[in-house]
Structure 1
């Protein structure tokens, strides 16, 4: 079967029952990426593309201390409209909790079940980047919300802000079911894992965060909050790499176990994306509740559906909405990382690594 066929074939006939335990592995056979166990052998390398992603991520090192928020404080105090200030308060409250959900899933689920040491190298680097994002958002909250009560509310957004609580509940609905699995012993276990991974990549990183980034770039298109936009550029690049890695793991599972990708899984993925769009729209209605000039809930829905369709196509599925991108400012931004979002290849920004680093030595 060709790569193109594998990417689009969601109707493999007569899969084995989902609850049937997988056959015992041949000790001499090549392992699959979701096989139970803990493979520790980097040579010979089974998935060199994941190792190259790890190397690329190392080259893309940045620090929160590089970001200058001094102009942002002036904008917050003198330039932003009250409705724009409400938008920012909601954004930073979501940022304060969103990456923590992602990091927990990395540690408790993805690292546990992706059985390839080169892939776990990337996940280790990703965990560092998620911690860096948390530090960035912590700095945002400390800078943007000087009132301690308001800041405390933002840190407890999943409990205190209904629209953010709805997004968190969506995440837990699709991702929590794998938490009790010690090993992926059955096809149903592996399908559950795939839904977790796809929710993480397509919905949380690929829709919730990409939606939030759009509102940051909207404000920057008006010359506002350049410090936030500068940090978001780097987070955007990191998240694009995380999402692409997760989709590559899905591609690997599809090649190794194509019978998992049937019509039922396709239906569940589409339902998940529909749920994600509706959860994000609750957030949009809250965020724009005071009326932000230049933004509308209708355009936001169109944009979210456009992004969700891109994720479905990347997973080999048909578009659900056929929406267009209404946010021209997204394509006009002078942001290198946007090219990754719109499926173009670019050279990644590189900073921060000095000295001799030998990545190619035999182990």
Structure 2
């Protein structure tokens, strides 16, 4: 339980939104609805069609679930503050949001690293792909990647639960760990050190896996014909774009929490801090859904199916 001198935090970043908070509320609402719709649609298409239930698409479903998890930890909270005109949140909710957002960020990178490994096996060992990425191994990978960020962050999070807070201003739209630490009453240098070590555990193994995977892919592609190279690299494009998109957003946030960015306009800092938890959940379903022809075909079939169903229901209601 949190032993807090301060019971609420004031999110000072909302002050710059005072004149257009209603427009921002609608924007965030649209973004949240779009995120949930696109990710649920992609999961539904993959689940309903056996030919799409390949290991890579299982990992895509994991990515979609994680992105809805991250968006749900942020956007409803932001919208509630904009709607009810109070930039204050309780310490307990702030702690919970820190856990949700940090585990989302860790899980996202783990899943992307796993998807890179899948591309490595598919391109470097195509004849043995089904043997290597068998059903039992995929289940083990899903469980490990699903648990890893939660178990890793839970131990660190227990340190936060022992903190008491004297400061109450957070220059953000949401709660992040370093801002909580900065508002603690006691000396928390050890928490900062543990936090850096935690970032290394979240980043280094995944970076090694991604660099190794694409290094091997590049080595194999050198031996292939230009046509085969194009076909192989084409399957990597959605993953590379997702990885680049998420990495850029994460670096924005890590830099802001570790360094003084007061020389940059607050509006710019707000946008950069939201990037990693808003943009990837919107763009990734488009990359893996609309970006793949076979998935596009099934999405169109799904819409046609439900359109026919709605027409039948409407006719029955009219004739009743």
TM over 0.5: no
The structure with the larger Rg is 2
TM-score under structure 2 normalisation? 0.35
TM-score under structure 1 normalisation? 0.31
